[in-house]
Amino acid sequence: MSDIGNSNRITREYIDSLRIETRYMDSTTPTLRYTLYGETFASPIMTAALSHLDHFMFSGAADALAIGARDANAVLWYGMADDGEIERLASTGARMIEIIKPYADRDIIYRKLEHASSLGLLAVGIDIDHPFGEDGGPDIVDGTEMTALRTSELAEICKASRLPVIVKGVLSRRDAERSLAAGAMGLVLSHHNNRIEYAIPPMAILPEIAAMAGGTPLFVDCEIRTGMDAFKALALGASGVCIGRPLMTAIKQDREHGVRDYLVRANAELGKAMAFTGCTDLSRMDPTVIHRI
């Protein structure tokens, strides 16, 4: 089957079409230190919100992701999981953001918000791009029905949460505006691994959303693989980026140190790109160094 409309392919081609200009004069060795919701990390490169790693890979794969993030001093994002798994990952010491699905039974959302707060997680996220299945009807995930959130419901969730609420799956100015109006304290620009074909690449819509987000943290995932990819997103207005599938490969290749080593290498690549473009720290990222061919 042709993959002409595959959003992952389209996104990868877009990222690869972005070129950088160099700026050496008056530059210095950059610092990658990154502060998010009052806590400081080695860099803005984080794990993506992977789910069910122990089921799809092997027992202990989720722990390997968490420990690798902890050892790299990176934010750990994690997706759909039962309470026990979330507790286990949080117990590793990794600073964690849990992503919650848009359950039709909204009580599940509130219960998970309270559970995340009791664990002292860094933040929580609401996965707005998972309400519909392949036929446009309600999505069923692990036997549980999902339903699209209304803006008023998101506002109630943000008000009820004791942790910052991040909206994941934003890919339009419309959803960004409604999420921010509801009280979201962060947005993840993502098409959720080709959830819909022909989706606009997150980096393509990023500058427009950054211009109206008022400094709210913006995160980008989908096809972020390297520190150079991260640099492009950060230069265009992202606050942080999330790496997913490459870390799954890293776990398979080296269960003990694969994630840590991959993130450390990506940080070095980001540092190189910043040094070569005069971006001495994350507050001095400049979109004018990026050109699309």
Cα 169 from Cα 130, distance rounded (Å): 8
Cα 41 from Cα 43, distance rounded (Å): 6
Cα 282 from Cα 130, distance rounded (Å): 32
Q: Which long-range contacts (CB under 8 A, 24 or more apart) does 58-62 make?
A: 60/255, 61/248, 61/251, 61/255, 62/88, 62/89
Active site residue 192: yes
In 173-279, alpha helices (H): 173-181, 202-212, 227-235, 245-253, 258-276
Asked if residues 92 and 7 have their Cβ atoms less than 8 Å apart, the reply is: no
E strands present in 91-233: 96-100, 123-127, 140-141, 144-145, 165-170, 186-189, 218-220
Catalytic residue among 130, 192, 257, 291: 192
Q: Which residues contact residue 4 at a Cβ distance below 8 angstroms, ignoring those fewer than 6 apart?
A: none
Q: What Rg do the C-alpha atoms of the chain give, in angstroms?
A: 18
Cα 10 from Cα 200, distance rounded (Å): 8
Residues catalogued as catalytic: 192
